Structure 1
Amino acid sequence: MQELSIKNFAIIDEISVSFNKGLTVLTGETGAGKSIIIDAVHLLVGGRGSSEFVRHGEKKAEIEGLFYLEKDHPCFRKSAEFGIEIEEGMLILRRDIAQTGKSVCRINGKLVTISILREIGSTIIDIHGQHEHQELMDESMHLHLLDQYGKEEIGKTLNNYQEIYVQYDHTAKQMKQLTENEQQMAHRLDLLRFQLQEIQAANLKVNEDDELIEEKSRLTNFEKIFDAIKSGYEGLQGEQRGMDYIGHAMGHLETAAELDNNYVEVLDAVTTTYYALEDVVGTLRTELDKLEFDPMRLNEVESRLNEINQLKRKYGSSVEEIIEYSAKIEEEIELITNRDVRLNQLEAKLTSLKEDLMLEGRQLSDLRKKWSKKLTKAIHYELKQLYMDKTIFEPVFISSSDVEGLRQDGLDEIAFYITTNPGEPLKPLSKVASGGELSRMMLALKTIFSKHQGITSIIFDEVDTGVSGRVAQSIAEKIHQVSAHSQVLCISHLPQVAAMADTHLFISKDIIAGRTKTSLHILNKEEKIKEIGRMISGVEITDVTKEHAKELLDIAYTKKNT
């Protein structure tokens, strides 16, 4: 996220802030509006809106964000699905919420629905709070995350599997179509034969409609065309007409050229023009002789166009589409007519494709199990750094061994399971509810998956609540580690996290003319020391507190550079 602009939102009058790469930490006293900014970003990417968000006394709230995307960012593909152009990697999201509660959403200036805003927004921003459900908590996304983690090996096999699956799915649908109720099939065959006969009887030719429209225009405007050509001809040919005058001019210029060579070039130009115009006069004469109005032909053209338009209403918006449809139904007629033979062919093909799919599917499963072990090892390493070395993480596979389990993404279903207490059984990650442990678990997963998810910006909303000491320091280091792969915005009450910030934003509120006004300020080094001191000790900041704050910043600087 490059820039964020918020206007008339809750207690925020108007703020605009630019973000840098790396870790941006947002701090401030309770009630200053830190979470309100996160609420605004949440709405910007498709969150549920309400008129309560509109600042009291204002007509609407306005939120706008500017994002710059890398060339291979998944947002390009998602935006293309909805016909949204992204030029020079720049994406602008905007959302207005009126007092009535009505929302207006725009992406790069194009009006979109909230659902489209949400789909595109999910590819660029991931918001994680103490109780926020997001991608890592969604079991349906766990298989995708594992595939992304091991995409160097898994990707090629998955592509091979999916290519075969497309053929398999198409063949299965053809078989289903051919094994439908015979009476329905007979009715379908009658309809197709009628349609084919109607199209073939018309004997259509490519571009015929365009040629007929052009001819109709000529016939309808015959009188105007004839008069114009006749007037043009008469303006050139005859005594005291254009050609006559040019001929006289040419004779005089010949005399001048004989007397002075400087006029030879002018004479040549006039002579060339004269003979060229003679050709034009001849052409106009021939055209006048040929032009003859045929009212019967106009009726024929209009009748033919009407016939073609009737077919367009039924079978396609152009002659080309009608001809293509004709070829398609001809193929379907042949398919239904030779149903039994075709069924045997399809059945043999489907059996072969099933065998290929099962082979690729098992290979894909083996690769996924191999990479799940690597993922488990990597997550245990991250958890150990977060002082959760007793926690056990395990991707649980539900694999199908028969063709009934064939799906577009393979034979497997995967869910991430964990247990944080020795002796307790593994439970789905989505069922874990402990705030502090869940936050550290999510940070461990984010540290690994932020490299693979393609998310532009990750927002942590007070994920460090309820921790202190060495755990707080480890969380601070992990959040900064995540920012190496994705831009991170973090709201925090921990001085350790604030010290790790690449950019430190301070939010404050003031009462001006009886109204609350929120403002954002980028802190310099001295201001950072003062703010971290406040976070350590509260209201009173002593010299000892300042020294402690400086020490934290020095530790953070060393950690970031190693």
Structure 2
Amino acid sequence: MIEQVRIENLGVIAAAELDLAPTFTVITGETGAGKTMVLTSLGLLLGGKADAALVRTTADRAVVEGSFTVDPDGPAAARAEEAGAVVDDGELIAARTVPAEGRSRAHLGGRTVPHGVLGELGEQLVTVHGQSDQLRLKAPAQQRAALDAFGGAEHGAVLADYRQAWTAARAAQQELRAWEEAEGAREQEVAELRAGLERLDALDPQPGEDVALREEAGRLGNVEDLRAAAEHAHQALTGGDDVAGAPDATTLLQDARRVLEQGSRDDQTLADWAERLAEAAYLASDVSTEIASYLAGLDADPQRLAWVHERRAALADLPHENVDAALAWAEEARGRLADLDAPEEAATRLRNAVEATAAERDRTAAALSESRRSAAGRLEAAVGEELTGLAMPGARLEVRLTALEEPGPHGAESVELLLSAHPGAPARPLGQGASGGELSRVMLAIEVTLAAVEATGGNAERRTFVFDEVDAGVGGKAAVEVGRRLARLARGAQVVVVTHLAQVAAFADRHLVVTKHAPSDGDGRADGEAVTATDVRAVDGENRLRELARMLSGQDESDTALRHAAELIERASVQP
């Protein structure tokens, strides 16, 4: 709900402050006085497009500030806080600055925000219906949305179930289609996996075989060097012909151990060394034995070496980093083949999913169609009742549901609103076959009917509805009924109406008048040209009677008009 709007330097308005009633506020004034600027200010607060041409001639910028009352736990407050705004005890301040040059700025709850955030907030709090919106319901999508909105919360739940079922059915169909389209790719993958496994199985590599073969190749290719090294080491450890007369390493170690043991009587350190030398002698003896065994088996084998080279080349040709990686791939490949070799099982599962989700989609589509037929009947009756009250007793709204070839994202039928403007007239699409005044009343009847449902939709926010001269082309008794219906709507919502009709204005709880006046001395541009100014003021009592009299006859001093105005207010105060 909008509590207050402050305007500075917007068009003809130098400064104005609008205090809106929580129920029904009406805005009136002479043609050209600046009522449009009041609505423009609301549009800016709701994230509308800013134009530097809106800035008052003598100013460098225009500013609009609005105070909103929101539910602290509602979605509007949540969105504002998400944008960094501060919601102070249910009050939210929004502002829009439009410079004469440069880009506009938007503020919400003390923070600078993109103007789109104001738009998102406005969608949750305010609905604007104006003459330009009379064509809003011509689009089939908007007509369908209007019917679904009229259906209420229970219908909305049915619609949500259908959308979920339709989405699931579409996803199942896409998955099956992708599986079928990938059949050729799967066959190629199977062939590649089998060829790779056959090649690997033919080689039959063993874990770590490539490492072992590399070491063996090195040994077989350097037999003589290895033999010379091993023989020299063996002779040094055990003695031999090449070192005749020289004691072997094992004997020297034993002699050193014995000498240390003899001296260990006086120093334990020597005993420790003797013990360590005994271990070294044992190790030297073992190593010499192993070297002898190594020399006995170290023979040149050209055939074995050739085979090792061939085997290594075959293993190196595998498309893997090493033998262990090839064996790991083989294990994964066999598992993948097991899945690909049973395509019918996967296809059957996917086809079953398509059938099940399609059945659920069709079931929820039938439920949605039935709910729409019910809502369509109620909408036709409700709008028909409104049209009768608006002096169009023979007019009839028809909601036509046409089955689609197959269910779509919004249901199994299209929705079209048609109007029969008078008895016997064929039903035609909205906007065709009706005069401007008739169309205004029809649109008002539809919008008030839809807005009444929206106002009682269970939302904790008190929603605001703005009607911009939607009563154009209406007069007399029909005008009174327009005011009565707007007042009825204001019982559950905030209603702001711009009107030329006294019959409508008489029903308002607060009456604001936009007045244009000539500039005072010194008020003008630097070149001396005068600038027209506009005021917005609340009227009540005698002043309100005079405004209504002006609207009735153009003369606010006419006794007849004043009496008529007083009668309008008296009748409007009676509950309909």
After TM superposition, the score normalised by the length of structure 2 is 0.64
Give CA deviations for 1:272-310 in whole Å, capped at 9, x if unaligned.
xxxxxxxxxxxxxxxxxxxxxxxxxxxxxxxxxxxxxxx
TM-align CA RMSD: 3.5
Aligned positions, number = 416
Name the aligned partner's letter for residue 66 of structure 2. G
Per the alignment, residue 283 of structure 2 pairs with none
Please point out which of 380, 405, 411 is paired with 2:407.
405
Q: Establish whether residue 132 from structure 1 lines up as the match of residue 139 from structure 2.
A: no
Assess if the C-alpha contact under 8 Å between 1:65 and 1:94 holds in 2: yes
Summarize the alignment of residues 94-113 of structure 1 with structure 2, pairs less than 5 Å apart: 94-100=95-101, 102-113=103-114
Describe the SS at the equivalent of 1:2. strand
Per the alignment, residue 351 of structure 2 pairs with 347
Describe the SS at the equivalent of 2:393. coil
Give CA deviations for 1:53-88 in whole Å, capped at 9, x if unaligned.
011132222222222234786646876997878675
Per the alignment, residue 546 of structure 1 pairs with 562
Per the alignment, residue 239 of structure 2 pairs with none
TM-aligned CA distance change 1:187 to 1:475, over 3 Å:
farther
Give CA deviations for 1:423-469 in whole Å, capped at 9, x if unaligned.
43322225577331122112211222112335822222222233322
Per the alignment, residue 451 of structure 1 pairs with 452
TM-aligned CA distance change 1:119 to 1:522, over 3 Å:
same
Per the alignment, residue 13 of structure 1 pairs with 14
Per the alignment, residue 371 of structure 2 pairs with 367
Q: Distance in 2 between matches of 1:77 and 1:394?
A: 39
TM-aligned CA distance change 1:42 to 1:384, over 3 Å:
same
Per the alignment, residue 475 of structure 2 pairs with 468
Look at both structures and tell me which one has the larger radius of gyration over its CA atoms. Answer: 2
Name the aligned partner's letter for residue 498 of structure 1. A
Assess if the C-alpha contact under 8 Å between 2:418 and 2:428 holds in 1: yes
Assess if the C-alpha contact under 8 Å between 2:441 and 2:474 holds in 1: no
Please list every run of 5 or more consecutive structure 1 residues that lacks an aligned counterpart in the other structure: 190-331
Per the alignment, residue 57 of structure 2 pairs with 56
Q: Distance in 1 between matches of 2:92 and 2:7?
A: 17
Name the aligned partner's letter for residue 408 of structure 2. L
Q: Distance in 1 between matches of 2:508 and 2:187?
A: 72
Name the aligned partner's letter for residue 481 of structure 1. R
Aligned-pair identity in percent equals 28
Q: Distance in 2 between matches of 1:99 and 1:175?
A: 59
TM-aligned CA distance change 1:97 to 1:497, over 3 Å:
same
After TM superposition, the score normalised by the length of structure 1 is 0.66
Name the aligned partner's letter for residue 548 of structure 2. I
Q: Distance in 2 between matches of 1:78 and 1:423?
A: 50
Per the alignment, residue 272 of structure 1 pairs with none
Q: Establish whether residue 519 from structure 1 lines up as the match of residue 520 from structure 2.
A: no
Assess if the C-alpha contact under 8 Å between 1:2 and 1:20 holds in 2: yes
Describe the SS at the equivalent of 1:493. coil
Per the alignment, residue 533 of structure 1 pairs with 549
Name the aligned partner's letter for residue 550 of structure 1. A
Describe the SS at the equivalent of 1:148. helix
Name the aligned partner's letter for residue 547 of structure 2. E
Deviates more, 1:137-146 or 1:491-500: 137-146
Assess if the C-alpha contact under 8 Å between 1:175 and 1:346 holds in 2: yes
Report the alpha carbon displacement of residue 521 of structure 1 after superposing the two structures with TM.
1.5
Q: Distance in 1 between matches of 2:548 and 2:25?
A: 14
Q: Distance in 2 between matches of 1:77 and 1:186?
A: 53
Please list every run of 5 or more consecutive structure 2 residues that lacks an aligned counterpart in the other structure: 191-335, 456-461, 524-530
Q: Establish whether residue 477 from structure 1 lines up as the match of residue 481 from structure 2.
A: no
Report the alpha carbon displacement of residue 398 of structure 1 after superposing the two structures with TM.
2.3
TM-aligned CA distance change 1:414 to 1:185, over 3 Å:
farther
Summarize the alignment of residues 143-182 of structure 1 with structure 2, pairs less than 5 Å apart: 143-180=144-181
Summarize the alignment of residues 252-267 of structure 1 with structure 2, pairs less than 5 Å apart: none
Please point out which of 485, 494, 497 is paired with 2:501.
494
Assess if the C-alpha contact under 8 Å between 1:396 and 1:416 holds in 2: yes
Give CA deviations for 1:486-540 in whole Å, capped at 9, x if unaligned.
2111122211112111101122233133243322221121211121122222135
Report the alpha carbon displacement of residue 99 of structure 1 after superposing the two structures with TM.
1.9
Assess if the C-alpha contact under 8 Å between 1:126 and 1:134 holds in 2: no
Q: Distance in 2 between matches of 1:46 and 1:415?
A: 30
Report the alpha carbon displacement of residue 127 of structure 1 after superposing the two structures with TM.
2.3
Q: Distance in 2 between matches of 1:557 and 1:20?
A: 16
Q: Distance in 2 between matches of 1:78 and 1:342?
A: 45
